[in-house]
């Protein structure tokens, strides 16, 4: 079998068309795509009747490599194929995983063997790493960058026939970050409570996800951009009473991305609003907020603030060996950013 490397959309399309191969190796840091693929392998390749005799699922922490190979070498019963899945393969000792080498080299064509190796990658420089890249359908699940989250949410909603306001999308992105599994679960929770043709807005996000539409990191970012001290104080007071709503690291990461975009904006000339939004990776709806903030913060101040955020990031994790009250540290940082 020729070496195969596929993207998530291409692999999902192949599975839906039942264009199957004997061995699949799924690995990478991002769990979401691996879990979505496993759901198809486990629940959509065999009928309910066929699963009884032809679906075998093992878990790396407790599985014996010999049992896995023996299952792979069985022939399907009353079906065209059988499916063998090794979940959490990263928990199996590497020396045991390597025992699968003989089977992967000469697999049974009536078996679909799937290995899910999460939270990392196998070493492609080793003989075993080269083997799985050459003999298996090889998929790597890469985490996406924070700035790509709003676009991912929008695309995910389109696939499920839903729409959301830009504010709702950014509330989810800023609060949850790039945990795609959690974002997907929260969107599903909202979807189950939606009325027909209802658009997801910030009120629904507040109601079903538990993010305040007035007191969140996104609103703090906007208040800082406008140097609106009254709003900043109200938001910081809410954060002090509800520390889980905005951990220091979440606030710093969000503001760092924000000021990096302002720095980029200062470097852009003679572009249309759409082109500016595209270059910044933001929804055009929010461009006016960034333009307002750019007038409040000259480029040299933006550069100072980026360095300042780095300093407070080190303080927040105790790098200067001084213990801080997080609420006081956050307030001090914000005041220095807007001064």
- Domain residue ranges of the chain, discontinuous segments joined by +: 8-141, 146-209, 217-338
- Residue where the block lists tokens 């298996």: 136
Q: Does pTM surpass 0.85?
A: no
User: Which pLDDT band holds residue 4 (cuts at 50, 70, 90)?
Assistant: low
Q: Is residue 255 pLDDT above 90, yes or no?
A: yes
How far, in Å, are 14, 46, 63 from residue 20 at the CA level? 7, 12, 25
Backbone angles phi, psi at 124, to 5 degrees: -70, -5
Which CATH number applies to 217-338: 3.40.50.300, 3.30.360.10, 1.20.272.10, 1.10.1060.10? 1.20.272.10
Distance CA 72, CA 104 (A): 10
- DSSP state for residue 120 in the 8-state scheme: B
Domain 8-141 has CATH 3.40.50.300: yes
Strands across the sheet with 55-59, in order?
A: 4-5, 137-141, 23-28, 111-118, 82-87, 55-59
- Residue where the block lists tokens 């913060």: 297
CATH code of 146-209, in short, is: 1.10.8.60
Tens-digit pLDDT profile for residues 102-160: 999 999 999 999 999 999 999 989 999 999 999 999 999 998 888 889 999 999 998 88
How far, in Å, are 44, 63, 64, 115 from residue 91 at the CA level? 26, 10, 12, 12
46 CB neighbour count, 10 Å cutoff: 21
pLDDT at 281: 86
Tens-digit pLDDT profile for residues 273-309: 999 998 888 888 899 999 999 999 999 999 999 999 9
């Amino acid at each position: 079998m020729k070496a195969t490397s596929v993207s998530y959309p291409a692999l999902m399309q192949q599975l839906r068309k039942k264009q199957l191969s004997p061995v699949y190796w799924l690995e990478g840091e991002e769990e979401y795509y691996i879990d979505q693929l496993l759901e198809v392998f486990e629940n959509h390749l065999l009928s309910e009747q066929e699963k009884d005799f032809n679906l075998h699922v093992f878990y790396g922490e407790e599985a014996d490599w010999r049992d896995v190979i023996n299952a792979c070498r069985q022939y399907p019963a009353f079906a065209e194929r059988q499916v063998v899945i090794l979940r959490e393969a990263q928990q199996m000792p590497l020396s045991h995983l390597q025992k699968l080498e003989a089977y992967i080299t000469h697999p049974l064509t009536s078996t679909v063997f799937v290995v899910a190796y999460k939270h990392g990658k196998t070493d492609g420089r080793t003989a075993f790493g080269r083997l799985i890249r050459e003999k298996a359908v090889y998929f790597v699940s890469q985490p996406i960058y924070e700035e790509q989250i709003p676009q991912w949410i929008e695309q995910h909603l389109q696939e499920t026939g839903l729409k959301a306001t830009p504010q709702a999308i950014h509330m989810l992105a800023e609060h949850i970050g790039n945990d795609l599994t959690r974002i997907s679960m929260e969107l599903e929770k909202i979807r189950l409570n939606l009325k027909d043709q209802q658009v997801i807005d910030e009120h629904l996000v507040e109601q079903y996800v538990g993010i305040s539409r007035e007191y969140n990191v996104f609103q703090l970012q906007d208040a800082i951009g406008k140097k609106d001290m009254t709003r900043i104080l109200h938001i910081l007071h809410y954060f002090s009473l509800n520390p889980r709503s905005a951990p220091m690291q979440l606030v710093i990461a969000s503001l760092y991305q924000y000021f990096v975009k302002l720095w980029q904006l200062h470097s852009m000339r003679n572009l249309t609003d759409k082109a500016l939004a595209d270059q910044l990776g933001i929804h055009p709806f929010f461009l006016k907020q960034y333009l307002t903030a750019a007038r409040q913060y000259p480029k040299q101040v933006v550069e100072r603030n980026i360095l300042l955020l780095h300093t407070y990031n080190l303080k927040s994790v105790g790098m200067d060996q001084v213990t801080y009250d997080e609420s006081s540290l956050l307030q001090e940082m914000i005041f220095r950013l807007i001064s």
